[in-house]
């Protein structure tokens, strides 16, 4: 079966690089983007230039974030996160590349510098001008007091979740580290991503071109199934659960 072949490929590999998307966190109660009921089926994304230009867009963006707070705060790592953390402890997975912003790889036992966050992190905020970090509680208090999304106390530019929006520059260090990891692994496993958002979606092919085997685990077909050595079209928790070691 697919899971047995995956087990063999993991056993044979020296350096495994997992690349994760929102599908690894759905069993933790966090919705993905493009499945039925996903975030982009309910709300249109707010592009970065709109966030910068419009107080209304910033207010709307923060209202959406506050509405998700209980979901993010309650989420615990799932079987997929725990399986990857087990392989990390076993020395097979140097780091995980993720498009996710939910901090669950860190919560599962990866040190922060072993989580390459291509799209940032939603568990804290930053000023888009000077980069000053803010806790979400501070933003919430200011929003409730002023009835509007706050600006930075240092430079007066808008404060935003520390995530990457459409139209916003990708983080350079993370892109560089993800490139190196993709080019220096022997097994690359894309997990729970529709693989439609670029440049993130370029890493599976980059790994494949550099000689790695490519596995895709996703319950629906992805854009890149045709270049994979193994496609497991199945639930992530069930597929990776057998690799959890405590
Ligand atoms: P998507 O919502 O596009 O894809 C998630 C995939 O996971 C879907 O194809 C689902 O079928 C699959 N899936 C969900 N739950 C699953 C489960 N339990 N088992 C197996 N498969 C499951 O999410 P991403 O590919 O992560 O970026 O989205 C990429 C980027 O688009 C995000 O990082 C975000 C979004 O816009 C930005 O906002 C910049
Ligand atoms: Zn600032």
pLDDT in tens, the chain (246 residues): 889 999 999 999 999 999 999 999 999 999 999 999 999 999 999 999 999 999 999 999 999 999 999 999 999 999 999 999 999 999 999 999 999 999 999 999 999 999 999 999 999 999 999 999 999 999 999 999 999 999 999 999 999 999 999 999 999 999 999 999 999 999 999 999 999 999 999 999 999 999 999 999 999 999 899 999 999 999 999 999 999 998
Instruction: Look at ligand 1, atom 37, and give the residue with the nearest C-alpha.
Output: 165
CB atoms within 10 A of CB 15: 15
Q: What is the pLDDT of residue 1?
A: 80
pLDDT for the residue 246: 82
Give the number of the ligand closest to the Cα of residue 157. Answer: 2
Give the CA distances from residue 97 to residues 70, 105, 174, in Å, rounded to whole numbers and listed in that order. Answer: 25, 10, 9
* Biggest CA pair distance of the chain: 58
- β-pair type (187-191, 159-163): unpaired
Q: What's the CA-to-centroid distance between 156 and ligand 2, angstroms?
A: 6
Cα angle at 242 between 22 and 29, to 5 degrees? Answer: 30
**ipTM confidence:** 0.99
CA–CA gap between residue 11 and residue 172 (Å, rounded): 33
Which residues lie across from 98 on neighbouring strands? 20, 117
Phi and psi torsions of 141, nearest 5°: -60, -45
Which of the 8 DSSP states describes residue 189? E
For residue 151, the ligand closest to its alpha carbon is 2
Choose the residue to mutate in 83, 167, 197 for probing ligand 1, maximizing ligand atoms within 8 Å of C-beta: 197
List the structure tokens of 51: 């966030």
Ligand 2: centre distance to CA 220 (Å) = 41
Q: Give, for ligand 1, the residue of 192, 195, 224, 241 to mutate: max count of ligand atoms closer than 8 Å to Cβ.
A: 192
């Amino acid at each position: 079966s697919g899971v047995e072949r995956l087990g063999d490929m993991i056993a044979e590999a020296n350096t495994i690089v997992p690349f994760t998307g929102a599908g690894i966190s759905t069993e933790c109660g966090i919705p993905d983007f493009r499945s039925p009921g996903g975030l982009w089926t309910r709300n249109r994304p707010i592009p970065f230039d709109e966030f910068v230009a419009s107080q209304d867009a910033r207010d709307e963006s923060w209202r959406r974030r506050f509405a998700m707070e209980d979901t993010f705060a309650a989420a615990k790592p799932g079987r997929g996160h725990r399986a990857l953390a087990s392989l990390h402890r076993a020395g097979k997975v140097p780091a995980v590349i993720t498009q996710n912003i939910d901090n669950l790889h860190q919560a599962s036992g990866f040190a922060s510098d072993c989580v390459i966050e291509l799209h940032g992190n939603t568990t804290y905020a930053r000023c888009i001008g000077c980069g000053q970090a803010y806790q979400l509680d501070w933003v919430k208090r200011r929003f409730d007091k002023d009835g509007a999304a706050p600006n930075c106390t240092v430079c007066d530019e808008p404060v935003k979740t520390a995530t990457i929006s459409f139209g916003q520059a990708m983080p350079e260090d993370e892109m560089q580290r993800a490139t190196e990891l993709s080019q220096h692994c022997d097994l690359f496993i894309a997990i729970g991503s529709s693989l439609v958002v670029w440049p993130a979606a370029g890493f599976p092919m980059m790994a494949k071109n550099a000689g790695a085997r490519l596995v895709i685990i996703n319950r629906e077909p992805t854009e890149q199934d045709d270049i994979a050595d193994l496609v497991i079209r199945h639930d992530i928790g069930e597929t990776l659960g057998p690799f959890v070691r405590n």
